[in-house]
Chains A and B, each alone.
Chain A
């Protein structure tokens, strides 16, 4: 039962080392501060403890000291602020060529689907050394995707996508926790992230060969739902053409311009009236309740695949190969 006494969490991602360094810095500063206060209290209370005939000195204060002990801590804190902000920026800005995995959280389970097609539940297999971006949503309450060994955490919110990225540095099996309280079996909503050697990962990927990539499934669904009757690839449809839209700026009817990201595509499917593309009418019906979260992910992945990444940005030579599905623009 007490055979191991862990003192430090495993570090297995590029963020982990940085975060640990920052944590140690903060701990040292805090220890120093605590020591100063404790020592002062201890020394004063010993040296000036009440004895026969001891008179307290009359001291009112010192402006210089007040300014000093306001400014000095603030200065140290600004270092913490800056270092913490830099790490946070890194954590919140996924590299453009990362491999993407779609995550759907529900009470009390993690459902994941790789772009290449394989689905997993409460497990995530990733290759070591690759940037992995998770595109996450929840189909019920708020959850939080937390891998302590990677020092990453992101709430998974219903009705929108949030993202999280990491690059694992050590093969191994790591805890995956739900960190946001989500009801009865919150503590059972756990799983594992399995970081594999690229070769093993490739073998795993081939083994789990699914019916098709996420984008291919999305294309089938796109046709089944009849989306292609309006969103045609020949600019003749009643809805905007979707080729080459993703990742680019879209001019809206009300004059605004937005970047077509996952959340935009999602919203355009569920609440088409929210943002009308310039030159089109508000005629698309809402798909709220008609498609589930996983189907939404497939549609998003498909629409994404209609916009090949710009030259040079995507150098996709991951071990598994063909991470970025390159569908033809043929939507009929």
Chain B
């Protein structure tokens, strides 16, 4: 495979132009993806810093490390940064941006300038949020529940609300760009039934972004207006309804969970067939389940409100629909597992992350059933059980998928191989650290420890100590890839065009790709995942 080593002279998207201007004014989807990668990584570590503060405070039952107000700000900003400035843009804006045009055989997204605009909007919102953080922060919880946020909090709710209002437009524009691109820019022969599942999943995600994000924008704007103009929409003393806010908030924020997890499922659907050397099992069902999740996902929001005082009968309906939305997720897990049956499975780093994803997402999904079960939810709602559940989905699921994807496509993005042994080690550390952090929270949640508690009764301490220990291991697992991926940019082995012998169009172009992705527009005459036609990858090129 040594013959495949590329000449360093070859022009690609990275060395096509030099200088800061060429990056800040680029319309190349691949460069914009890297701009996003840098900015969301920054926010990931800021959000992670707050997570660390939370875990350190909870090491002891007494509120001793921070003041109560500081702690409240820490979990608020951890949540808001991780959800709105990391998880929602993570896979779509980085991997989706980089890969979707290549996967469908296009030169770029449909609206390259709008793509750049959405990054600038993201940055503007990010700066506003950092300003909010620097000037004192916000303490409403990431959920902004009224009337606390609208009338009682004395922190920078307006700035935080506006920042998230603004960052929503970045997400809307990205979604719009993807939808139009998938409809209009597919190469000849790239029919809908030949689309990689990565694209299907992102298509479903984009629909949610387009339809859901305006609702959160309006909702947060109402909170801002309520604070500044004293509107009274959520104020019960003037005929307003504080619970109305929760309906509006979750109408977006539950589908937002699928904005975070669907792209991760997209990554897994690429990794599992590649490292099993097999077609994905039940292509149609995996593709359709993405659409089903997006559709049903809009109809389950009130399962966050079973104890909020909603009517008995609406609770029944929402409980039922919440069970229903579990079906397409389960279908995906079954299909990935079945894909491995009679495959030829290798344990490369991306596949280890895929294993991790399947395991953790299964636990995250199944514990979701506990919360959909009305009588059980009454007890565990707003306890650490819920915290554990959604971290299994959003960290165990979404972040595992993100890291798996970053490793899988790193050769394509950077033109370098990462050190495989370090990659495997980091994946293992992340998996162990994650479970040690969050599994004890299921137990302490069932015991009754409420979320967002700065101090807690001493009988819950053992589980919190375990959790904090796990978090420090997890931190190592997240820092390691930072180090060796950066290292590989200089010292990594040059990557061949298709190191994994994967089937996607993005692998039929040089690593790193030229600015316009393909020398000539590809014509697709094959199905997705025809792994039976591909040779086995040469393991030697993968090991360093």
Contact = CB atoms under 8 A, between A and B. Distances in A.
Contacts of A180: 145, 382
A63 to B, nearest CB: 8
Given A45-B355, A49-B346, A151 B379 contact: yes
Interface string A253-284: 00000000000000000010000000000000
Interface stretch (B308-316, B410-418, B488-496): B308-316
Contact of A26 (B68, B276, B363, B376): B376
A179 B381 contact: yes
Contact of A148 (B312, B367, B448): B448
A115 B497 CA distance: 78
A60 interface: yes
A22 B338 contact: no
Nearest to A42: B355
Contact of B462 (A2, A51, A146, A162): A2
A141 B152 contact: yes
Contacts of A48: 276, 340-345
Given A70-B327, A153-B378, A9 B448 contact: yes
A251 interface: no
B366 A33 contact: yes
A157 interface: yes
B358 interface: yes
Interface stretch (B31-39, B170-178, B180-188, B279-287): B279-287
Nearest to B532: A58
Interface string B509-537: 00000000000000000000001100010
B450 A146 contact: yes
A154 B115 CA distance: 45
A272 B373 CA distance: 39
A54 B281 CA distance: 19
A184 B378 contact: no
Given A45-B340, A73-B327, A22 B375 contact: yes
B242 A5 contact: no
A62 B341 CA distance: 13
B362 interface: yes
B242 A85 contact: no
B153 interface: yes
Interface string B450-494: 111111111111100000000000000000000000000000000
Nearest to A146: B450
B347 interface: yes
A185 interface: yes
Interface stretch (B124-132, B200-208, B318-326, B419-427): B318-326
A140 interface: yes
A149 B459 CA distance: 14
B279 A148 contact: no
Contact of B323 (A18, A66, A78): A78
Contacts of B309: 154-155, 157, 160, 162
Interface stretch (A87-95, A223-231, A242-250, A320-328): A87-95
B330 A73 contact: yes
Contact of A30 (B145, B346, B369): B369
Interface string B17-53: 0000000000000000000000000000000000000
Given A49-B346, A84-B319, A158-B147, A23 B376 contact: yes
Interface in A56-89: 56-62, 65-66, 69-70, 73-74, 77-78, 80-81, 83-89
B126 to A, nearest CB: 25
Interface residues of A, number: 92
B4 interface: no
- Which of B72, B279, B374, B458 has the most chain A CB atoms closer than 10 A to its own CB? B374
B309 to A, nearest CB: 5
Interface in A182-198: 182-188, 190
B232 to A, nearest CB: 12
A81 B145 contact: no
B141 A77 contact: no
Contact of B148 (A78, A178, A181): A181
A30 B307 contact: no
A146 B358 contact: no
Contacts of A86: 375
A7 B462 CA distance: 11
Contacts of B279: 58-60
B63 interface: yes
A289 interface: yes
A160 B347 contact: no
B237 A159 contact: yes
A32 B448 CA distance: 25
Contact of B145 (A34, A142, A160, A271): A142
Nearest to A58: B532
B278 interface: yes
A50 B285 contact: no
A1 interface: yes
B341 A44 contact: yes
B242 A57 contact: no
Contacts of A22: 373, 375-376
B53 to A, nearest CB: 16
Nearest to B148: A141
B331 interface: yes
A160 B236 contact: yes
Contacts of B239: 271
A4 interface: yes
B447 A153 contact: no
A96 interface: no
Contact of A55 (B344, B372, B461): B344
A4 to B, nearest CB: 6
A151 to B, nearest CB: 4
A19 B346 contact: no
Contacts of A84: 319, 372-377
A70 B331 contact: yes
A319 interface: no
A56 B450 contact: no
A6 interface: yes
Contacts of A188: 68, 455
- Which of B141, B148, B307 has the most chain A CB atoms closer than 10 A to its own CB? B307
B214 interface: no
A288 B375 contact: no
A187 B453 contact: yes
B363 to A, nearest CB: 6
A175 interface: yes
Contacts of B308: 142, 155, 157
B501 to A, nearest CB: 12
A186 B382 contact: no
Given A19-B379, A140-B152, A7 B281 contact: no
A177 interface: yes
Nearest to A69: B334
Interface of B: 63, 68-69, 72, 139, 141, 145, 147-148, 151-153, 236-237, 239, 241-243, 276-279, 281-285, 306-309, 312, 315-316, 319-320, 323-324, 326-327, 330-331, 333-335, 337-338, 340-347, 355, 358-359, 362-363, 366-367, 369-370, 372-379, 381-383, 443, 446-448, 450-462, 531-532, 536
13 contacts: A34-B363, A41-B337, A50-B536, A56-B344, A58-B532, A70-B331, A84-B376, A107-B152, A151-B379, A153-B379, A162-B309, A177-B448, A180-B382
6 closest residue pairs by CB, A with B: A159-B236, A148-B448, A87-B375, A84-B373, A88-B374, A61-B282
Given A33-B362, A45-B345, A88-B378, 6 more contacts: A56-B278, A61-B284, A151-B379, A180-B145, A187-B455, A288-B237
